[in-house]
Structures are given as structure tokens and as C-alpha cells.
A and B are shown apart, each in its own frame.
Chain A
Amino acid sequence: MLNRLLSHDLPRNRWLALLLVAIVLGLALTPFLFPGTKALNVAAKIIVFIVLVASFDLLLGYTGIVSFAHTMFFGIGAYGVAIACTRGSPSWGAVALGIAAALAISLLLSLLIGLFSLRVKAIFFAMITLAVASAFLGLASQLSDFTGGEDGLTFKVPEALQPGTSYLEEPLLGASIDGRFASYYLLFVVAAVLVLMMLRIVNSPFGRVLQAIRENDFRAEAIGYRTVVYRTLASVLSALFATLAGCLLALWLRYNGPDTTLSFEIMLDVLLIVVIGGMGTVYGAIVGSALFVLAQSYLQDLMKLGAGVVDGVPVLSQLISPDRWLLWLGILFVLSVYHFPSGVVGRLRAMRKPKP
């Protein structure tokens, strides 16, 4: 049963399995274990990032093409829900309409980009996606009547998910059963379904072809697979999953703006998580997102503390200040691409193999 659910792609390492179980259980029980608002927000962010990163890994890790427009699709999803809920009444119908419209736009856009750039050379893809994504970011902040510009959109979600909605008078096992609780579990269940779907996709014959293209596209083409078609399909699929992740985030935050979903910083976060977790494994997305988001949420506080200690020392205080978070992220990113390309999951799985 479990084997079928995981599409016969088991963790294949005891420690990895333990880690995964711990993360999934931790996320499932967060409202009961850590009832604070911050903990719940962090857990929700981890859940959204798991979907987002896994969908990116479909492209980077499994098909071997780099896209810089992934946050664009993430943003389209979030804006879809946000705009639909701002314009219409905050009902499930509006949310569904927003999601459907966002999926349609993402489908069209990713298909166009894919057919255009992948037809010629896969390396075009990285450059073209970068250009399109930056133009889209500019567009989103310019069309302020529609998207709220730089300020973004704050909106109401359907009543069942609003924090004011209370389902039980008394807290159950330390958790108050309200709209936030419901939204959290909505996120959790949807994300779990999406991750299992992606696991199914990468372990299907289609997924095998993608990996073949990653390893040697020339040979894959020679065997008779149209690499353009497969690459485009992979990019469309990954865009659609990213859009759904964006919808989830918007539902959770009840807000969306350029900085929360579209910014280049998030793209970098996603890249880093894929590399840390391990390219080419869906489990890498889970482990990486959990580690990274935890570090991001709690390490920045530590940096603030550190900057306070060395306050006054000219260069050092500049380097440790929380504003320079991106610098350390960049260095970590480069180092992990060099020395740690298979990521946490790859390392753990390699441990099992007997030494020759």
C-alpha cells in the first residue's frame, strides 16, 4: 500500500526514511505541538515550498533544464486567487475561478516559452525565462489597478478559512480549532496529494524519458523520443504545479504582492533548496524545504543577534547584518553546487552502498 502510494520510489535509506517521517509528522502535528502563530506560519511556508521546489525539481533535477521563470508561475497562481477574491465575493466559486484562470494562463505561457526556446537550444531557455520573468515582474508592479502594484493585494478568503471562524468552543489538545486550523490542514492535504502526484509522474515511463534527456539528450533523440515535446511537457507540468503552490500560498497569507511571490530572491531560495535537498529527487524537495525555511526563519534572528554583538566593527558588522543574508545564501549556494551537488538525499542514499 505504502509502496504503491510512493510509486515504488522508497527513500532507500534508513536515516532518510526517519528524517522524512519526522518532517511529515512534524508538519502534520504542528498545530498541536507548537501552537504559536509563528510556528504555524513557518510550517505553512514549508508546505508551500515543498510543492514549489518539487515542481522546480521536475525541470532542473529530472529534465536538466534551468528555468528562471518559476516564480513567475508561482506568482500567477497567487495573483489568480488574490485578484479573483478581491474583485468578486470571497467565496469558493471565486477561488475556483481564480485557480482555473491562473492555471490557464500558466499553461499558455509555459507552452509558448517552451516551444519558442526549447525548439532551438535548451540553453536559450535559461536566458529567455530570465527575460520574460523580469518583464512580468515589471508588468505586475505597473498594472496597479489590477494587481495592487508594489503594495500588493490584501483580500478575504472564503468564510470557512477565515481566522474568525470558530469550529469548537474549547481548544482541542492545545490547538484552537478555527479557520486557520482548517486552512492549515487544507494546505497540508492538497500539498500531500500534489507531491504524491509528482512522485507518480517522475516514476512513470514519461519521467524515465525526462531523465534520459537529462543524461544525454542526443541519445534520447536518437532512440526516437522527441526531446522538444518532452522538455516542453515537463516545463508545462512544472509550471502548473508551481501555479497551484502559488494558489496555496495566497490562500494561507490572504495577501499577495510582488515581493512575496514574484521576486528574484524567491527564485534563488528555490534554486538553493533544490541543490541542498538534492537534485533529481522529490524527497530532496521535502528535506531541503524543511531545513531551509527553518534556517531562514530562525537564523536571521541569530544574525541580528550577532550583528548586535559586533556593532561598531566596520566591515564585520556590515557582513553579519541581516541585510546581507543574501550574500551568505549566495556563497552557500556556490559551495553546495561545487561540493555537495547530490544534496542531502543523494549523500544519505550513497551511504547505503557498500564500499568497493
Chain B
Amino acid sequence: MSGDAIPKAQFDFLPLALVALLALGAMPLIGSSSTWLTLTVAGLAMGMIIFIIASGLTLVFGLMDVLNFGHGVFIALGAYLATSVFALMSDWTSSAELWRNLVAVFATMLVAMTLAAAVGWAFERVLVRPVYGQHLKQILITMGGMIIGEELIKVVWGATPIAIEMPEALRGVITFGDSAVEKYRVFATLVGLVVLAVMLFTLNRTKVGLLIRAGVQDREMVESLGYRIRRLFVGVFVAGSALAGLGGALWGVYQHGVLPQIGAHVNVLIFIVIIIGGLGSTTGCLVGALLVGLMANYTGFLAPKVAMFSNIGLMVAVLLWRPQGLYPVANR
């Protein structure tokens, strides 16, 4: 040890090992390795989408201690916008050329992100701002916002489920030996990796990211250094909403359709994820999302009846091991 440098914090690899352990442990239970590969890729894809959605929520909580129960609105909004954009660009999505499909998909993602960001900004302004520092009211108000948003979505798009046609080139499967992997899942995983890379870069290599991380650790200290943490927070909230919109669009296509209750469904999943990961921690959010995604796919195959309780069981197990979540955030 050289005495001059500040010792670097050890990165905690144990939770990551847990993901590998879960994947490997499921292998003998499932039996066939080709099924296992299919399920694992599906789980990773689902995990990446959940991560995209949940990352904004966990940062918002970490930075300002705001628990947004209305996060599901942005998810639902993204998914419903995807149906509209796909319907508008049906020539493009049904074309056999890959680039036309991709243009349509990226246009969808862009629209979903922009509008979700705008709605997120309004949501913060109207609903969240007046109830700072009051947990009880925050929970109630954001829950109310969630109901209102869901109903407004029903007013615009109707209360019946809408099916989404997968773009032509992203349909079907890629086969590796015996195992079939859906193309769209690979695509979703790639999008998730890009988002992860951009997020890690922003958080670790830029000034804004530094301020966000510092704000999560100790808000008052950052404020006393003269930075306006409120403005930063609004930015994070809007970015988080945009990511939720993006994730919602991906999720809607992944599920081949949308229901008005989609927001509430996914909300439950992402709450489990951020509790597992440790409230406020981005790394924890990623690991938690992967765990939940894998778990949901494995149990969906092995024991569909109890699949709903598997994630709660996972959460209980993790909390028994680390009561504050996998990566506890200091100061909380």
C-alpha cells in the first residue's frame, strides 16, 4: 500500500456473483441447456428493460428522498405512445428492410422519451413540488397522480387492450444450436446496454454526474457548496421519466400489446427491484433488475402458478441477507 493515495473503495462483487449463481443454479432444475439459454436471454432482456425503467426512480429517491408512486404513469404513457407511433408508421414497421424497421422503432423511442419527459416535468411541478419532505403526503399524492394519469390514458386511448405488431425484421428467432433466442430480446438487451453505458458515463465522468452522486451521498453539503440541487433534481426527475417512457415503449412491444394497467403492473416489479438493489443505488438497481428478470423467467417456466410470489421470495431472501438492499447507500 502506498500511503499517498486515498484508498479506493473496494467494489463489492458479491451481488454480481449472486446473479451468476442464480443463472447457474437454475440450469440443473431446467434440465435442457437450450431451454436454459432461451430463458436466460429472455430474463436478461426483461432485466435490462426493468433497469431502464427503475433507474430513474431510484435516483430520484436517492437525490431528494422522493418516492414516486406515479412512476407507472410514464411507463404506460411510453407503451401507449408506441402503439400510436407504430400505427402511424405501419408502412415502415411492416417493411421487410431492417433499416426502415429500425427508423420506426427509434422514432417510437424518441417520441416516448420526449413526451414522457414533458409529462414528468409537469408531474414534478404540479404534484411533487408542494409536498417536499413529507413522505406520507408524497406517497398519497403520487399515488393519486398515478390514478389520474391512468384514467386520462383511458380517455385518450380507450380502456381495451391494444395489440402491437412487432416490426417485421425484429420478429422471429435466431437459433444457436438447439436454442432459439427471440430477435427482439437481443435488441432490447442492446438498447439496455447503451442506456447503461450512457448512464454510467454521465454519472462517473461528467460534472453533472459527480454532483448527482454527491447529492445522493449528502445533499446539504452539495447545496452548501453553492450548487442548486433543486434544479439538478428536476433534471433527474425529467430524465427518469424519459427513461420510464422509453422502457415502457420497449416493454409494450416486448409484451406484444398494452393494457391500461400496465403501469401498475410494472410499478410493482420496479419497487421490488429498487428495494433489492438498495434505495438510491444505480448499481444495485441493475443487479436487482437482472435478478428479478431472470427469476421471473425461470419460475415462469418451472412453476407458473407461484411465479408471482417468486419475486417477493427473492426480495425477502435478499433483505434477510442485507437488510438495506444489495448496495446500501451511505447516509440513509
Stretch at the interface among A125-133, A147-155, A168-176, A241-249: A125-133
**Contact indicator A337/B155 (Cβ below 8 Å):** no
Task: Given A123-B67, A123-B135, A131-B315, decide whether A319 and B155 contact each other with a Cβ distance below 8 A.
Answer: yes
Q: Does A298 contact B (CB under 8 A)?
A: no
* A338 proximity list for chain B (CB < 8 A): 130-131, 141
* A124 proximity list for chain B (CB < 8 A): 275
**Contact indicator A334/B148 (Cβ below 8 Å):** yes
A61 CB to closest chain B CB, in angstroms? 10
**Contact indicator B140/A271 (Cβ below 8 Å):** yes
Q: In this complex, what residue of A is CB-closest to B137? A: A337
**Contact indicator A135/B144 (Cβ below 8 Å):** no
Q: Does B110 contact A (CB under 8 A)?
A: no
* B268 proximity list for chain A (CB < 8 A): 130-131, 134-135
* A123 proximity list for chain B (CB < 8 A): 67, 135, 139, 279
Q: Does B22 contact A (CB under 8 A)?
A: no
**Contact indicator B151/A337 (Cβ below 8 Å):** no
A159 CB to closest chain B CB, in angstroms? 37
**Contact indicator A131/B272 (Cβ below 8 Å):** yes
Q: Which size class do A's interface residues fall under?
A: 35 or more
Q: Does A329 contact B (CB under 8 A)?
A: yes
Q: How many residues of B contact A (CB 8 A)?
A: 40
Stretch at the interface among B33-41, B184-192, B219-227, B316-324: B316-324
**Contact indicator B136/A327 (Cβ below 8 Å):** no
**Contact indicator A271/B143 (Cβ below 8 Å):** yes
Task: Given A135-B309, A324-B151, decide whether A334 and B144 contact each other with a Cβ distance below 8 A.
Answer: yes
B234 CB to closest chain A CB, in angstroms? 20
* B154 proximity list for chain A (CB < 8 A): 323-324
**Bound CA–CA A138/B265 (angstroms):** 11
Task: Given A64-B136, A127-B275, A139-B308, decide whether A119 and B323 contact each other with a Cβ distance below 8 A.
Answer: yes
**Bound CA–CA A267/B254 (angstroms):** 30
Task: Given A329-B147, A338-B141, decide whether A116 and B319 contact each other with a Cβ distance below 8 A.
Answer: yes
Q: In this complex, what residue of A is CB-closest to B305? A: A142
* A318 proximity list for chain B (CB < 8 A): 155
**Contact indicator A66/B140 (Cβ below 8 Å):** yes
**Bound CA–CA A319/B148 (angstroms):** 12
Q: Does A326 contact B (CB under 8 A)?
A: yes
Q: Does B47 contact A (CB under 8 A)?
A: no
Q: Does B145 contact A (CB under 8 A)?
A: yes
**Contact indicator A323/B159 (Cβ below 8 Å):** yes
Q: In this complex, what residue of A is CB-closest to B325? A: A120
Q: In this complex, what residue of B is CB-closest to A122? A: B135
Q: Does B121 contact A (CB under 8 A)?
A: no
A259 CB to closest chain B CB, in angstroms? 14
B180 CB to closest chain A CB, in angstroms? 28
A172 CB to closest chain B CB, in angstroms? 45
- Greatest chain A CB density within 10 A among B140, B143, B151, B309 is at B140
Q: In this complex, what residue of B is CB-closest to A65? A: B136
A269 CB to closest chain B CB, in angstroms? 11
Q: Does B24 contact A (CB under 8 A)?
A: no
* B145 proximity list for chain A (CB < 8 A): 330, 334
Q: Which of A47-83 contact B (CB under 8 A)?
A: 60, 64, 66
**Contact indicator B67/A334 (Cβ below 8 Å):** no
**Bound CA–CA A326/B151 (angstroms):** 7
Q: Does B233 contact A (CB under 8 A)?
A: no
Q: In this complex, what residue of A is CB-closest to B65? A: A123
**Contact indicator B323/A327 (Cβ below 8 Å):** no
**Contact indicator A131/B148 (Cβ below 8 Å):** no
Q: Does A275 contact B (CB under 8 A)?
A: yes
**Bound CA–CA A123/B280 (angstroms):** 13
* A334 proximity list for chain B (CB < 8 A): 127, 141, 144-145, 148
Q: Does A264 contact B (CB under 8 A)?
A: yes
Q: Does B169 contact A (CB under 8 A)?
A: no
**Bound CA–CA A124/B316 (angstroms):** 12
Q: Does A307 contact B (CB under 8 A)?
A: no
A121 CB to closest chain B CB, in angstroms? 8
Q: Does A331 contact B (CB under 8 A)?
A: yes
Bitwise interface map of A from 263 to 286 toward B, beta carbon under 8 Å scored 1, else 0: 010001001000100000000000
Instruction: Provide 15 A-B residue pairs closer than 8 Å at the C-beta atoms, listed in order of the A residue.
Output: A119-B323, A126-B69, A126-B139, A128-B275, A131-B268, A134-B308, A135-B268, A271-B140, A323-B159, A327-B148, A327-B151, A329-B147, A331-B144, A334-B148, A338-B131
7 extra A-B contacts, CB within 8 A, seeds A66-B139, A128-B275, A138-B308: A126-B67, A130-B267, A271-B143, A275-B140, A324-B151, A330-B148, A337-B144
9 residue pairs, one from A and one from B, having the closest CB atoms: A327-B151, A330-B147, A334-B144, A330-B148, A127-B271, A333-B144, A135-B308, A138-B308, A66-B139
